Amino acid sequence: MGMTMTEKILARNAGLAAVEPGQLIKCKVDLVLGNDITSPPAIKEFNKIGRPIFDREKIVLVPDHFTPNKDIKSAEMAKTVREFAKQHEIVNYFEVGRMGIEHVLLPEVGLVAPGDVIIGADSHTCTYGAVGAFATGVGSTDMGAAMATGDTWFKVPSAIKVELTGVLPKWVTGKDVILTLIGMIGVDGARYQSLEFTGEGLASLTMTDRLTIANMAIEAGAKNGIFPVDAVTRAYIKGRVSKSFEEVEADADAVYAQVVTIDLNQLVPVVALPHLPENVRKVAEVPETTIDQVIIGSCTNGRIEDLEQAAQIMAGRSVHPVVRAIIIPGSQGVYLEAMQRGFIETFIKAGAVVSTPTCGPCLGGHMGILAAGERAVATTNRNFRGRMGHVDSEVYLSGPYVAAASAVLGRIATPEEVLA
């Protein structure tokens, strides 16, 4: 019986010839990741085990959620992570000034490679499926244990094949693809399963589109989302990934529990209404909805291409007087390139604020918290009740074009409405 990409990667790292859905396996990990919120409890659990770390080059620590430290307690957590990194001579610890939002940073600096098994104490670790890795979010105890043992346990997931056909139309991005899919299958539509993206439609998806799509696999409940390795992937990792790796390809006779087909030609810009990512509507069909804030950034849409899209809409225009527009480049590298290409100037002239990289407002941490009754359009990944602030605030999820257009018009809007 043939295996999916996920099954083949898991089988290889478990030292098994084959695995099948439902099987419990112990699996070697190629990378263990944590952030400033999840690492302190992981370090505590790690210390209870009382063993050395398994590999100082395979643990990655990125303080990105409440950094630059938003309060004293957060500063203490960041300090715990910093001291642990120093004590164990962790190679890949990223201090403020060199850091980025973890899932923007790791692919950018070449720490994730095709065929890797990656666990991270952050649910959006699934982002790395974009480069053909098996990557999934876990909790702090899993992270702590894996830092000591170099392995973890998995239940092999069954798979949903997402067959993409056609070509992405203008103004439609990876964010619209994944929101449309979540709208189709629901927030638990892929619970415990892998989402395996495939089909001729992949050719029109940039690496940024793929990173955004894989990033939100968790929002459909999936264990991971994964893309085949093709020319787009190889061009992206060239010059970034220096370690050796092995590309993995799904068998032609791999077994999928379900097949979902999406014709990219038919997609339009969409938005997910409060309070679930599955409440997806075409932007053009949303009744007039005024807004107070726009966030463009996050591990979902904080890459240079995302900022380029926002700048394209904002160039020569002004953010609506009632809107606070907050732009957050996902890494120092993205920030620098955005500056060199003039995007930062465009944003500032438009009346937007540009922040240092941080997860900040996405999870209601800092840098843009909503008051009661306020409404935001955000390129982030979750619009749960109270996610960005007060329990009576609202978050609408979209891609950068729609977010930027909404910032300009002060209401949820399509890019065409601005450019018309």
CA distance readout (Å), 116 to 10, 47, 150, 246 = 9, 26, 13, 8
Close Cβ partners of 400 (under 8 Å, ≥ 6 residues apart): 173, 175, 296, 301, 306, 307, 309, 310, 313, 379
Contact positions with another protein (CB under 8 A) in 229-258? none
Whole-angstrom Cα distance, residue 211 to residue 302?
A: 10
Q: Per the structure block, which two tokens stand in for 191? A: 């619970």
For position 367 contacting another protein by CB under 8 A, the verdict is no
Q: How far is the CB of 26 from another protein (least distance, A)?
A: 9
For position 145 contacting another protein by CB under 8 A, the verdict is yes
Q: Which is nearer to another protein, 22 or 342 (by Cβ)?
A: 22
Query: Of these, 8, 12, 223, 320, which contacts another protein (CB under 8 A)?
Result: 223
Cβ-contact 270, 18 below 8 angstroms: no
Q: How far is the CB of 408 from another protein (least distance, A)?
A: 29
Q: Which is nearer to another protein, 9 or 182 (by Cβ)?
A: 182
Contact positions with another protein (CB under 8 A) in 48-77? 48-50, 65-66, 70-71, 73-74, 77
For position 91 contacting another protein by CB under 8 A, the verdict is no
Size of the site for another protein (CB under 8 A): 51
Whole-angstrom Cα distance, residue 237 to residue 111?
A: 10
Q: Which is nearer to another protein, 39 or 208 (by Cβ)?
A: 39
For position 103 contacting another protein by CB under 8 A, the verdict is no
Contact flags string 268-307 toward another protein, x per CB under 8 A: --------x-------------------------------
Whole-angstrom Cα distance, residue 317 to residue 128?
A: 35
Cβ-contact 237, 114 below 8 angstroms: yes
- Candidate ranges 8-16, 95-103, 186-194, 322-330; the one touching another protein (CB under 8 A): 186-194
CA angle in degrees (0–180, nearest 5) for 80-82-83: 65
The 8-class DSSP code of residue 286 comes to S
For position 323 contacting another protein by CB under 8 A, the verdict is no
DSSP bridge partners of 117: 134
Q: Which is nearer to another protein, 121 or 314 (by Cβ)?
A: 121
How far, rounded to the nearest angstrom, does the alpha carbon of residue 92 sit from its chain's CA centroid?
Answer: 19
Q: Residue 18: count other Cβ atoms within 10 Å of its Cβ.
A: 11
Q: How far is the CB of 146 from another protein (least distance, A)?
A: 10
Whole-angstrom Cα distance, residue 78 to residue 69?
A: 7
Q: Which is nearer to another protein, 48 or 243 (by Cβ)?
A: 48
Contact flags string 325-354 toward another protein, x per CB under 8 A: ------------------------------
For position 38 contacting another protein by CB under 8 A, the verdict is yes
Per DSSP (E only), the strands in 83-240 are: 92-93, 117-120, 134-137, 151-155, 159-165, 194-198, 224-226
Instruction: List residues near another protein by CB under 8 A.
Output: 24, 37-38, 40-41, 44-45, 48-50, 65-66, 70-71, 73-74, 77, 120-123, 125, 137-142, 144-145, 148-149, 153, 155, 187-188, 191-192, 218, 221, 223, 276, 363-365, 382, 384-387, 391
